[in-house]
Amino acid sequence: MKTKIAAARKIMQEYAAWGETRAENNFLRVLDAFREQRVSAQHFSPSTGYGYNDAGRDKLEQVYAQVFGGEAALVRQQIVSGSHAIALALFGNLLPGDELLCCGMPYDTLQTVIGIKKNTPGCLRELSVSCRVIDIDFADPDCQKIVDALGPKTKMVALQRSCGYALRPALTVANIEKIAAAVKAARPDVLLFVDNCYGEMVEEREPTMAGADIIAGSLIKNPGAGVAPGGGYLVGKQECIERAACRLTIPGAGSELGASLCDNRPFFQALFLTPQIVLEALCGAVFCAALLSQLGFAVYPAADAERADIIQIAEFGRAEPLIAFCQGIQKYSPVDSFVQPTPWPMPGYDNDIIMASGGFVAGSSIELSADAPLRPPYLLFIQGGLNRWHTIHAVCRTLEDMRRENLL
């Protein structure tokens, strides 16, 4: 095992040396946005009531818009999850009679938002917004196939950047750009939406710099950097963002409402730290891929593959070792290490889900976490890690425990 660990460390170190340039370039973009938007200590103060003229909230959104290359942003503590942020983008920009064209099956919780499998109360389907799902090759998307699928009622094309709970590669910004160019050339009136969860700062460009009209994500994932206590964000065209804001608050007031009830400092500081934290998470993912593949697990992506999100998939084949691995990640976490996660019927999912997340922010998946739906082929999704050493030692200790229990 020691030889395998040493080999995995070497591969990780080679990746880190390459990845530092990209992370530094992303950091410089963030730093310049802070300076050019003239962020000051006064912007860290919270507000109360309606939130009118909340200078800190407005400044944070200006910084996000510049960093992510959009006209406007909505960055709010009141957004409860990435799925909520995505729902705001969809409900704000789709009207009765419109069609949503999804490239690939959306993530489990989005299926209930859209109403794909049943007419969930409050879903888009209930509001007479239809949806079609087409399969695409995420590694090499056929843009013409997407264009040919556009119908007379298609208002929005939706892309999910990360793999979610599917066994597929993450969508690169270069491929998003190709899709955007093809869609806009054929139908300039169609909006391109990108679920950006787990992809922020992995590459040097964001989808909004490559033709996307609107993107959305969670602040307990990449841009939260393990510091933001919650929230979500949207960035994109001014009209798209304001329409989403009207779903969060009320039409006529939109982005003008919503007090910063918590101190704004962690949200600014989190974005400032994001490039470095994302690099740490990627280093941990590369280490996991290198070590687990040596132990005979199928891993996706491979240790030397191009990465467009922070997620590392490992195929366990059986429920028992998968559950044991999740429990080990929890055991070697800094918070709630004494808690043993078990599979449970989590709302919004068709299968029982097991989640290990012993982080400082509840449910944070930029901190080291591992989760999986309990269904064949028993894929485990590992993500996060505020520093690579935590990932290395948590994974190595977990595997040693599994070896003693004859689960390897």
**How large a percentage of the chain has pLDDT more than 70?**
100
How do residues 304-331 score in pLDDT, each as one tens digit? Answer: 999 999 999 999 999 999 999 999 999 9
Domain that holds residue 232: 36-270
Per-residue pLDDT at 116 exceeds 80: yes
Per the structure, how many domains does the chain have? 2
CATH number, domain containing residue 306: 3.90.1150.60
What single-letter DSSP state applies at residue 106?
A: P
pLDDT for 346 equals 78
Q: Are 88 and 176 in a shared domain?
A: yes
Residue 146 lies in a domain: yes
Per-residue pLDDT at 160 exceeds 90: yes
C-alpha–C-alpha distance, residues 158 and 98, integer Å: 13
Q: Are 91 and 19 in a shared domain?
A: no
User: Of 270, 295, 322, which marks where a domain is finished?
Assistant: 270
How do residues 48-70 score in pLDDT, each as one tens digit? Answer: 999 999 999 999 999 999 999 99
How do residues 261-301 score in pLDDT, each as one tens digit? Answer: 999 999 999 999 999 999 999 999 999 999 999 999 999 99
Q: Are 303 and 258 in a shared domain?
A: no
How do residues 349-373 score in pLDDT, each as one tens digit? Answer: 778 999 999 999 999 999 999 999 9
> Among residues 252, 251, 253, 219, which one has the least CA distance to residue 235?
219
C-alpha–C-alpha distance, residues 238 and 246, integer Å: 12
CATH number, domain containing residue 198: 3.40.640.10
Q: Are 248 and 102 in a shared domain?
A: yes
Q: Are 172 and 131 in a shared domain?
A: yes
Q: Please state whether 336 falls in left (phi above 0), alpha (psi between -120 and 50) or beta.
A: left
Residue 87 lies in a domain: yes
Q: Are 20 and 86 in a shared domain?
A: no
> DSSP readout, 352-382?
-EEEE---SSTT-SSSSEEEEES-TT-EEEE
Residue 209 lies in a domain: yes
What single-letter DSSP state applies at residue 344?
A: B
Per-residue pLDDT at 89 exceeds 80: yes
Residue entry with tokens 């919780």? 109
C-alpha–C-alpha distance, residues 162 and 309, integer Å: 6
Evaluate whether 178 touches 283 at the Cβ level (below 8 Å): no
β-partners of residue 383 are 369
237 to 67, 175, 182: CA distances (angstroms): 14, 20, 19
Query: pTM here?
Result: 0.96
Q: Are 216 and 135 in a shared domain?
A: yes
Per-residue pLDDT at 165 exceeds 90: no
